[in-house]
Amino acid sequence: MASQIAGWWFAPQPRGRIVWLRAFAYLFVIADVLLITTSPVALAGAGDGLYQPLFAARVLHLPEPSELLITMLRSGIVGAALFALWGRWPRSSGATVFALYLLWMFAAFSYGKVDHDRFSILVALAVLPTVGRAAWGEQGSDDASGWALRCIQVAVVATYFLAAWAKLRFGGIEWLNGATLLRGVMRRGTPLAAPLIDRPAVLALAQHGIMAFELLSPLALVHRVPRRIFLGVAAVFHLVTYSTIAISFLPHLVCLLAFAPLERLRAARFKGTTRSTWVRYGSQRSREEGTWP
């Protein structure tokens, strides 16, 4: 049993997927601290008891962030992420990105709600550096890549499954037949969602569908066919969510790429300039070897 579990956790996966996933993750981190999660910049040093540190921040005795500290932290994150994108010293640069971005999350979420879509990206930033150096277009597979990708995949699935558990824990079975989505559409719905206000039965049915999808998400970890169905349903779910109530779950979407065959992307060099091109080097053999989820 132990050997089967170890074989599952450390099943070799393509190193080429690691390279692309790192690039997407570090680019997201830069965009996040500059454009998306900017609340620490606006609230740093605001006082008035607005800062309520998270449990982990209290355990670590982190100080209330000042404007200078937030500016330095922001600059450090961007610099470290750019260095990590360069690909030199991937373990140390990646670990630095994770540590600094974790501090940014502590600062951001100590002023209000904690966004659960950051769980998987934090796991990704923690495990991706462990793989070490990986080259663009690399086609080999190893257990280090397998472990890192499996950790991210488990984090993605856990985000869905635990979201369902939280709904049932705090909302009870009544969550399925309540007006949760109706309230969401009325509060922040887009013009595309406006007709749904007059169709509460459709929204209630959607709530049942969301619950079923989240509870069944662990199947994506054990079999290839459910995994493909899971990816398709997840793509539709997030597309509909964004188009109707403008919630993107962007960091979580980045981590969903851990299931995708990113290794089929290859970096091609032309006249000393690297540019990314879509290519298919996957074959029936690669499918049999499990490089396609």
* Domain that includes residue 67, residue range: 12-289
Instruction: Write b or e for each residue in 72-91: b if 16 or more Cβ atoms lie within 10 A of its Cβ, otherwise e.
Output: ebbebbbebbebbbeeeebe
Residue at 74 is within a domain: yes
- Residue that has been written with the tokens 């050997």 in this structure: 3
Residue at 124 is within a domain: yes
Would you give per-residue pLDDT tens digits along the chain (293 residues)? 677 778 888 899 999 999 999 999 999 999 999 999 988 898 887 766 788 888 988 999 988 888 999 999 999 999 999 999 998 899 999 999 999 999 999 999 998 788 889 999 999 999 999 998 888 877 788 999 999 999 999 999 999 999 999 999 988 888 888 888 999 899 988 999 899 898 889 999 999 999 999 999 999 998 788 899 999 999 999 999 999 999 889 999 999 999 998 888 764 433 344 444 333 434 444 444 444 44
pLDDT at position 138 is 79
**Tens digits of residue pLDDT in 8-33:** 888 999 999 999 999 999 999 999 99
Residue at 282 is within a domain: yes
Distance CA 43, CA 97 (A): 22
By the 8 A CB rule, do 291 and 49 touch?
no
Number of domains in the chain: 1
Residue at 2 is within a domain: no
Look up the pTM and report it.
0.86
Q: CA nearest 253: which of 18, 21, 89, 3?
A: 21
What is the distance, to the nearest Å, from the Cα of residue 242 to the centroid of all Cα atoms in its chain? Answer: 16
pLDDT at position 266 is 64
Distance CA 86, CA 182 (A): 46
Residue at 268 is within a domain: yes
pLDDT at position 51 is 85
Residue at 116 is within a domain: yes
Q: 138 phi and psi, to 5 degrees?
A: -65, 135
- The residues, ordered by sequence, that sit 6+ positions from 263 with a Cβ below 8 Å of its Cβ are 14, 15, 16, 17, 20, 139, 281, 282, 291
Residue at 3 is within a domain: no
Residue at 5 is within a domain: no
pLDDT at position 269 is 38
